[in-house]
A and B are shown apart, each in its own frame.
Chain A
């Protein structure tokens, strides 16, 4: 039982991190109808920037403080992500309005290649570390109930908390600020939003910026967990089942979907994996999402798809 709970907790926390990446997909799809395959590349790009600047800045300006370096690097990387977002909107999306979904998808794939190449050209392609002072030692809880207690990774706990805080912050931003209201209006209906004077282009830039920041936070957490390297870009592929499970248009869906996929993945790997040879994590998530889709084709919380002839 204790082992089961341990796996469950591990799954929930990984799930939270998946949700973080999935959030980036959902934000952009909701606002502009673009399925942004480049989210993974953005995570990698942001993480690379963060890792390198936290190394470079102390060298350039000659200070020692770790915290200051991290904070500054985070800000510089954030600015860089804003620039990327602005450029993507300006150079790519603006010219592709009203194109088919497949064309847009391919365009974001092109952006993926570009960002992968650009990131590694600018920041180098070895493995880097992000050290934001995450505690590595595990803690034990519920020692009175189970013998030996349940082992929980403190690092995971903190990252899950950061992810949750970010989600809360985003919800506040969407619900309470006027920009957030404008964003929701655009998500609802492009034409109606435009006709009451909401500038579509600016909203798109803002959404991509927000997605960039989400990518930065995701890249920071994943990067400090796994090290910053090219394989970080594949995190996006692991977050895709989360997005379709939760529904492409739903922020809560991304979180619930993330938790379901995280738990499902871990439990399947532990209990089902040994029977079939292991390594089933990655496709199990997809098959799980597919099973859900067969019952709800729009995902758990997605908008109902209505057919009109």
Chain B
């Protein structure tokens, strides 16, 4: 009834190719962004901002990066945690070693370093495919884990192995309160989501998708596999690297290599698969699912225990939590293997025909 594109005529190609061709979509997304930027910082509590929304936004950015590589270019990567680590430590080194570099530039330079490392570890993808590649990218994870633990130069010779950043300052704006941090990350999330959306609609995005669908056929029609795969690795690791820098600088404040372990890589891949391969919107949904679920379980289980009058120890809660987490993921993959994005588009289709579905 309300969600219908009847009467919305496009008179130019430009209009036909915009991101949200349906007027209602534009309104909804615009309202969402506005609410996220204005209402949420005003209304949300510090706990909500700090413990849920901040990690959600940063991991959503990382998931966008991973989705470009896995969902659009079809190269399964288990090394995303490593690229996050590279982004974080590179940004840290720029911060410590170069005087007076603006924060935004520092974060982006972290991303650039991650892109370079990403290209390096993307080289095997030219020869190796599928699951072999997935395991090969784990090499990146372990090399980086080791390097940031053992090579003292990266951590500026800190004795404990953990590094920290002080006051964050963006062109005179002191990023202190959770609301400020949230706004900074929101800005990055919006910019990167737009960037990614436009990239995958462009020529290079189509090349990635051709490589994903069948790389031999893509080569036959004149797509250079080396160029396509390595750009995918570069763009993906750049975004993941910036997300890593944000994670370290804005969310953690002080961190050690364990913050970017192989579990982080798995977590990012979960987000992408559960959100939906090849969907930017899905990244946000997947990130929300993976961030909120453990927190929810953590609160819900002791509550359940108190309802049935049973004392549950913290260890038991932790174990039951990962059990339920695992089971839910398997269940979700069985009922909706194409992810939340598919549910979203099915819902939209239904809404379009409502109330007369035929």
Given the interface pairs A101-B131, A102-B273, A282-B142, the reply to whether A109 lies near B329 with Cβ below 8 Å is yes
Beta-carbon contact of B334 and A92 below 8 Å: yes
User: Complex formed: what's the CA distance from A103 to B273 in Å?
Assistant: 7
In the assembled complex, how far is the CB of residue B271 from the closest CB belonging to chain A, in whole angstroms? 10
Q: Mark A90-128, 1 if CB is under 8 A from B, else 0.
A: 011001100111110111011111111110110001000
Q: A102-B70, A109-B266, A282-B142 are in contact. Are A117 and B326 (CB under 8 A)?
A: yes
A105–B323 CB distance below 8 A:
no
Q: Does A240 touch B at the CB level, under 8 Å?
A: yes
Given contacts A102-B76, A307-B216, A309-B220, contact A283 B131 (CB under 8 A): no
B92 vs chain A, min Cβ distance (A)? 20
- Check A260 for interface membership: any CB of B closer than 8 A: no
Which of A96, A117, A298 has most B Cβ within 10 Å? Answer: A117
User: What total of chain A residues lie within 8 Å of the partner, measured CB to CB?
Assistant: 52
- Asked if A204 CB lies within 8 Å of chain B CBs, one says no
Task: Pick the contact of B262: A106, A237, A308 (CB < 8 A).
Answer: A237
Given contacts A96-B337, A289-B136, A297-B127, contact A106 B319 (CB under 8 A): no
Q: Is the CB of B138 within 8 A of A286?
A: yes
Chain A binding surface SS class: helix
Q: Is A299 at the interface (CB under 8 A from chain B)?
A: yes
Q: Nearest Cβ in chain A — how far from B110, in angstroms?
A: 22
How far is it, in angstroms, between the C-alpha of A280 and the C-alpha of B131 when the chains are bound? 24
Contact (Cβ within 8 A) B135 A114: no
Minimum Cβ distance to chain B for residue A105 (Å):
7
Choose the segment among A12-20, A185-193, A208-216, A241-249 that binds chain B (4+ C-beta atoms closer than 8 Å): A241-249
Interface residues of B in 123-138 (CB under 8 A from A): 124, 127-132, 134-136, 138
A114 touches B132 (CB 8 A): no
Q: Are B327 and A121 in contact (CB under 8 A)?
A: no
Q: Which positions 218-247 of chain A face chain B at CB distance < 8 Å?
A: 237, 240-241, 243-244
Q: Please give the residue numbers on chain B whose beta carbons come within 8 Å of chain A beta carbons, in ascending order.
A: 70, 76, 124, 127-132, 134-136, 138-139, 142-143, 145-146, 149-151, 214-217, 220, 262, 266, 269-270, 273, 277, 315-316, 319-330, 333-334, 337
7 A-B pairs with the lowest CB-CB distances in the bound complex, closest first: A113-B326, A117-B323, A114-B326, A286-B139, A110-B329, A283-B142, A110-B330
Q: 19 A-B pairs, CB-CB below 8 angstroms? A: A35-B131, A102-B70, A103-B337, A105-B76, A109-B270, A109-B326, A110-B326, A114-B330, A115-B326, A117-B325, A118-B319, A121-B320, A248-B132, A286-B138, A286-B143, A293-B128, A293-B132, A293-B136, A309-B214
